[in-house]
Amino acid sequence: MTDHDHDHHHHDHDHSELSDTELRVRALETVLTEKGYVDPAALDLLIQTYETKVGPRNGARVVARAWADPAYRARLLKDGTPAISELGYAGRQGEHIVTLENTPALHNMVVCTLCSCYPWPVLGLPPVWYKSAPYRSKAVKDPRGVLRDFGFELPEGTNIRVWDSTAEIRYLVLPLRPSGTDGWSEERLAELVTRDSMIGTGLPKQPHEVA
């Protein structure tokens, strides 16, 4: 019984905490709607946009095109914002995008130590870990430790370069194209591109993982 009581209590505690915030948000939305400051239909559309249209598949298409098209790659690395806009991705939290090229000797990793800056038009909204204290504190000091938290090691000869997004410049990592993908279409290449590989906390999938 003791275990059961404990579990039950814990559950109630979590539930009531959640409810306090939930009730407060509902109260706010009601007040702001009745005052005419927000239109619930606009709120629905904002949510729908970020849940269905804006996400890391956008960035994956950018990366895949850069892998497949040397002229596009050159434009993307020279000035990211217009090159990304060619694919239709632009705007809020991606007004000024710089693309960072990984090489066998250099691995780029992006963080925002002060808040949660992240290139929304190409990656969507940031995951919880990106906004968390562990990532924000550790990335600039112990990036290899961060990569171990993500389950991989870089080769000894690969140096790490960390970009702290302290201004309105947003960073997109262009990961190394996996070998064994010669002649692949952009669509197939895009399937290899993970969100984390474009932040620098992961690597692209290998061809056998998407076969």
Partner 1 sequence: MEGAHDMGGVKWSGPVQPEPNEPMFHAEWERRAFAITLAMGMPGGWNIDMSRFAREDRPPEDYLSKSYYQIWLAGLERLMLERGLIAPDEIEAGKPLHPVKPVAKTLTPGDVARVLHRGGPTEREAKAPARFATGDRVRAKMIHPPTHTRLPRYVRGHVGIVERVLGCHVFPDSNATGAGENPQWLYTVTFDGGELWGEASEPGLKVSVDAWEPYLEPA
- Catalytic residue numbers read 112, 115-117
Q: Does 22 bind partner 1 (CB under 8 A)?
A: yes
Stretch that binds partner 1, among 1-9, 14-22, 58-66, 186-194 (CB under 8 A): 14-22
How far is it, in rounded angstroms, from Cα 183 to Cα 68?
8
Regarding 96 and contact with partner 1 (CB under 8 A), the answer is: yes
- Which residues, numbered 126-155, are part of the site for partner 1 (CB under 8 A)? 127-129, 131-144, 146, 149-150
Report the residue from 125, 188, 207, 210 that binds partner 1 according to the rule CB under 8 A.
125
C-alpha 46/C-alpha 199 separation (Å) is: 24
- How far from chain centre, in Å, is Cα 153? 20
Of 31 and 74, the one with the shorter C-beta distance to partner 1 is 31
Taking the complex as a whole, the smallest distance from the CB of residue 192 to partner 1 amounts, in Å, to 18
Residue 124 sits in the site that holds partner 1 (CB under 8 A): yes
First-to-final CA distance of the chain: 51
Note the Cα 146 to chain centre separation in Å. 16
Query: What residues from 56 to 85 belong to the interface with partner 1 (CB under 8 A)?
Result: none
* Count of beta carbons in the 10 Å neighbourhood of residue 183: 6
Residue 206 engages partner 1 in binding (rule: CB under 8 A): no
Q: Are 161 and 139 in contact (CB under 8 A)?
A: no
Taking CA atoms, 201 is separated from 74, 130, 195, 207, in Å, by 24, 10, 9, 19
Q: Is 46 in the site for partner 1 (CB under 8 A)?
A: yes
Instruction: Tell which one of 45, 78, 79, 152 touches partner 1 (CB under 8 A).
Output: 45
